[in-house]
Amino acid sequence: MNTITAAITAVGGYVPDFVLSNKVLETMVDTNDEWITSRTGIKERRILKDEDKGTSYLAIMAAKDLLAKANIDPLEIDLLIMATATPDMPVASTGVYVATEIGALNAFSYDLQAACSSFLYGMSTAAAYIQSGRYKKVLLIGADKMSSIVDYTDRSTCIIFGDGAGAVLFEPNYEGLGLQDEYLRSDGVGRDFLKIPAGGSLVPTTFETVKDNRHNIIQDGKTVFKYAVTNMADASELILKRNNLTNDDVDWLVPHQANKRIIDATAGRMNLEDSKVLMNIEKYGNTTSATLPLVLYDFESLFKKGDTIIFAAFGGGFTWGSIYLKWAYDKK
Q: Dump the DSSP string for 299-314.
A: HGGG--TT-EEEEEEE
Q: What pTM was estimated for this model as a whole?
A: 0.97
| 286 annotated active-site | yes
Q: How many Cα neighbours within 13 Å face the side chain of 9? A: 20
Find the catalytic residue in 116, 158, 173, 259. 116
pLDDT at 326: 98
pLDDT at 116 over 60: yes
Q: In terms of Cα–Cα distance, which of 69, 57, 142 is closest to 102?
A: 57
| 116 annotated active-site | yes
pLDDT tens per residue, range 216-240: 999 999 999 999 999 999 999 999 9
pLDDT at 282: 98
Q: In terms of Cα–Cα distance, which of 213, 223, 202 is closest to 158?
A: 213
Mean pLDDT of 104-120: 98
CA distance 8 to 70: 12
pLDDT at 332 over 90: no
Mean pLDDT of 36-48: 97
pLDDT at 215: 96
pLDDT at 36 over 60: yes
Percentage of the chain exceeding pLDDT 90: 98
CB distance 177 to 326 below 8 Å: yes
Other Cβ atoms less than 10 A from the Cβ of 316: the count is: 20
Beta strands (DSSP E) in 87-133 are 108-112
Q: In terms of Cα–Cα distance, which of 287, 278, 313 is closest to 163?
A: 287
| DSSP for residue 213 | T
Mean pLDDT of 33-51: 96
Find the catalytic residue in 22, 231, 256, 259. 256
Q: In terms of Cα–Cα distance, which of 7, 3, 9, 10 is closest to 133?
A: 3
| 215 annotated active-site | no
pLDDT at 1 over 60: no
pLDDT bracket for residue 107 (50, 70, 90): very high
Average pLDDT over the chain reads 97
pLDDT bracket for residue 75 (50, 70, 90): very high
pLDDT at 2: 79
